[in-house]
Structure 1
Amino acid sequence: MIIDTHCDVLMKLYMDQGRYLFNTKSGLMITYPQLVQQHSRVQLFAIFIPTHLKPGERFQAALTMVNLFHRQVISPNHKMVMVRSREDVLALEEDEIGAMLTLEGIEAIEEDMEKLEILYRLGVSSVGLTWNWANAAADGALEPRGAGLTNFGKEIITFLNDHGMWTDMSHLSEQAFWDALPLAEHPIVSHSNAYTICQNPRNLKNDQIEALIAKDGFIGITFVPPFLNTAKEASMYDVIRHVDHVCSLGGEDHIGFGSDFDGIDQTVSGLCRYTDYGSLIGMLLRYFSDAQVRKFIGGNVLKRLPVIL
């Protein structure tokens, strides 16, 4: 049963309102029929604020995406159930699929903790502190100065800890990662890969992966080609290489997948949409045991789903 820790369906629905429908098989990289076909257990849906939006517009965009989540993902699809915690997921019927809200970057809250509390009450279970650039919480992975966590960022992590939510450290600068990890009680990296295999600033170095493992977090291997290799194309074998490397660092029980479907322009050969998870699982089974693959595709994530207080 697949648990995918990151997609940008809500951004696509927001940016092209009326163009895409979640309950049809084609159009989006992740759709309801595909989730049913591939036996999804939980799909995490990110709220990502497009970079062109100005202060004063961003929180409203987040609220619109929450509404789109209910209008397109939950309401029309009888097997889709909103979940926000491990307890909710364990309570799902065998044929039900959980849908969880996350926040990718704190631009949406516009330096207002009350807005974060509102999003928590609306069901957001995981918060990524940054996207690629600097914001009020921290510097992102592509911010040239590479600064760390701010006092506001520390306040956000305290809120997440107090409410049993995930602190998602994908997109953080290296310094911000090291500042945040000791503070976060439930750290994850929802969609990043191994820097040793592909020297992209969005990927984690060995000491970061090992520290995340020591904190009992997990890393969601992502299907973004520039995070998989430095060539023009990527294959499923590249995904396997990153999984194998994390395992070599002691991460067999700490790997998940965060596809980033609908947030990417390039795709891995043979891994272009959710239905291709079946092919990926087949490839994984060539190199790993059935028990290992079950952990990779959902078991490891299930153990660490938010508790929500």
Structure 2
Amino acid sequence: MTRPPFLVDGHLDLAWAAGLGRDLTLDLETLRERDPVPGQTAMVTFGELREAGTRVCFGTLFALPRTGESPEGYMDPAGARAQALAQLDTYRRWEDRGLIRLLRNGAEVGTHLADPDGPLGVVLLMEGADPVRDPGDLGFWVEAGVRLIGPAWGRTRYAGGTDAPGPLTPEGRALVTAMRDLGVALDASHLDDAAFWEAVEIGPRMIVSHSNSRAFLPGNRHLTDEMARAAAASGGVIGLVFLSPFVRPGWTLSQPRVGLDELAAHARHYAGLVGWEHVGLGTDLDGGFGREKAPAGVERYRDVGRFLDLLPEEHRAGVAGGNWARWLTRLL
């Protein structure tokens, strides 16, 4: 089948992967031979993104909090900030080497998309706002190039999040207000319902970089129909996650990987609610999981296009990248 002209991925943890010791400049086979991350077969390299036709992605700054499973994580805002600054430096070094191009506004995105021979375009997205010391610190990150922030991951100082119910904190309300005033878009992925609806009332531009539908899955990690409608009403796009347990409830590694047709059901559900123009990709591939948990048929990043073959032909280009490109060029 004819594939869309380009992809835009709403969520890739590229600098996080580099921080784990993965060299994304290697070809995928070589990276897999040298991979320092056990149990998560790598899928993403710069070469794979190029072969897939990915022209732009939202590249994250993700600070990992300390948990029983992650003793190396941060314990305070200074630790979170240090992680995010190290990842920011990674993106800048990649840009210096000509591997990526950091994009800060819609005009730059439009110019970049018109250059088919350019490197990967990256729009910086902060996933979890703990690296922001306080709302007054937001200007520093805007100057550094951050254009979208998700206040939560699990619980943060700013908001209730995944498996951690709760509203925006007073600092969170101040941060979201500052984001609105400075034109920083809010990524609603990971926000608990209470925090989500408070953010809607404050009124920043909103997208959902990587969330599937709660119509198929329980839990506050996924969007209710009402949340999807609110995100679309703000002009936002919703990115679909390529993670088996986020596609089918109760999926475990002991089971066959879910089918791409099951992920396509999430896409069709969203389209029925808000229209295909608000549906995009937010694969999160290599974002804490590998091929083992990706849908069947996606053995490496260049296989993402197989998903598009299951969608109505007239909407494939929009889901592949056109919908994100429209949002980026008009609202970034």
Structure 2 equivalent of residue 37 of structure 1: 51
Q: Cα deviation per residue 1:128-161 (whole Å; 9 max; x = unaligned)?
A: 01002x2221111311xx2211222122122222
Tell me how far apart the structure 2 counterparts of residues 29 and 210 of structure 1 sit (CA, whole Å).
32
Structure 2 equivalent of residue 83 of structure 1: 103
Tell me how far apart the structure 1 counterparts of residues 329 and 126 of structure 2 sit (CA, whole Å).
14
Question: SS at the partner of 2:12?
Answer: coil
Tell me how far apart the structure 2 counterparts of residues 250 and 58 of structure 1 sit (CA, whole Å).
36
- 1:154 maps to amino acid: R
Tell me how far apart the structure 1 counterparts of residues 200 and 45 of structure 2 sit (CA, whole Å).
34
Pairing partner for 1:103 from 120, 126, 130: 126
Corresponding position: 1:263 with 2:287: yes
Pairing partner for 2:208 from 189, 198, 206: 189
- 1:2 maps to amino acid: L
Structure 1 equivalent of residue 14 of structure 2: 9
Structure 1 equivalent of residue 302 of structure 2: 275
Corresponding position: 1:173 with 2:178: no
Do 1:23 and 1:76's aligned partners in 2 also have CA atoms closer than 8 Å? Answer: no
Structure 1 equivalent of residue 90 of structure 2: 68
- 1:102 maps to amino acid: L
Pairing partner for 2:146 from 112, 124, 136: 124
Structure 2 equivalent of residue 115 of structure 1: 137
Tell me how far apart the structure 1 counterparts of residues 147 and 177 of structure 2 sit (CA, whole Å).
14
In the TM superposition, residue 214 of structure 1 has moved relative to its aligned partner by 2.1
Q: Name structure 2 gaps, 5 residues minimum.
A: 1-5, 32-41, 66-72
In the TM superposition, residue 220 of structure 1 has moved relative to its aligned partner by 0.7
In the TM superposition, residue 273 of structure 1 has moved relative to its aligned partner by 3.1
Pairing partner for 1:293 from 295, 312, 316: 316
Tell me how far apart the structure 1 counterparts of residues 300 and 92 of structure 2 sit (CA, whole Å).
22
Pairing partner for 1:209 from 228, 244, 253: 228
Do 2:184 and 2:205's aligned partners in 1 also have CA atoms closer than 8 Å? Answer: yes
Tell me how far apart the structure 1 counterparts of residues 79 and 159 of structure 2 sit (CA, whole Å).
21
Q: Cα deviation per residue 1:58-93 (whole Å; 9 max; x = unaligned)?
A: 21111110011122x323345x31112221110111
In the TM superposition, residue 171 of structure 1 has moved relative to its aligned partner by 0.4
Tell me how far apart the structure 2 counterparts of residues 273 and 67 of structure 1 sit (CA, whole Å).
27
- TM-score w.r.t. length of structure 1: 0.90
Q: Cα deviation per residue 1:21-47 (whole Å; 9 max; x = unaligned)?
A: 121122343221112212212011111
In the TM superposition, residue 252 of structure 1 has moved relative to its aligned partner by 1.1
Do 1:224 and 1:264's aligned partners in 2 also have CA atoms closer than 8 Å? Answer: no
Do 2:309 and 2:316's aligned partners in 1 also have CA atoms closer than 8 Å? Answer: no
Structure 1 equivalent of residue 328 of structure 2: 305
Tell me how far apart the structure 2 counterparts of residues 261 and 272 of structure 1 sit (CA, whole Å).
11
Do 2:130 and 2:158's aligned partners in 1 also have CA atoms closer than 8 Å? Answer: no
Tell me how far apart the structure 2 counterparts of residues 142 and 184 of structure 1 sit (CA, whole Å).
24
Q: Name structure 1 gaps, 5 residues minimum.
A: none
Do 1:261 and 1:273's aligned partners in 2 also have CA atoms closer than 8 Å? Answer: no
Question: SS at the partner of 1:199?
Answer: coil
Do 1:125 and 1:165's aligned partners in 2 also have CA atoms closer than 8 Å? Answer: yes
Do 1:255 and 1:300's aligned partners in 2 also have CA atoms closer than 8 Å? Answer: yes
Q: How many residue pairs get matched?
A: 296
Do 2:214 and 2:223's aligned partners in 1 also have CA atoms closer than 8 Å? Answer: yes
Structure 1 equivalent of residue 277 of structure 2: 253
* 235-244 or 27-36, larger mean C-alpha shift: 27-36
- 2:23 maps to amino acid: L
Do 1:166 and 1:306's aligned partners in 2 also have CA atoms closer than 8 Å? Answer: no
Structure 1 equivalent of residue 27 of structure 2: 25
Tell me how far apart the structure 2 counterparts of residues 153 and 306 of structure 1 sit (CA, whole Å).
28
Q: 1:308 to 1:62 in 2, by over 3 A?
A: farther
Question: SS at the partner of 2:211?
Answer: coil
In the TM superposition, residue 242 of structure 1 has moved relative to its aligned partner by 0.2
In the TM superposition, residue 163 of structure 1 has moved relative to its aligned partner by 2.5
Q: 1:240 to 1:125 in 2, by over 3 A?
A: same
Structure 1 equivalent of residue 34 of structure 2: none
Tell me how far apart the structure 1 counterparts of residues 299 and 147 of structure 2 sit (CA, whole Å).
27
Q: 1:199 to 1:86 in 2, by over 3 A?
A: same
- TM-score w.r.t. length of structure 2: 0.84
Do 2:63 and 2:74's aligned partners in 1 also have CA atoms closer than 8 Å? Answer: yes
Pairing partner for 1:139 from 154, 160, 179: 160
Q: 1:124 to 1:197 in 2, by over 3 A?
A: same
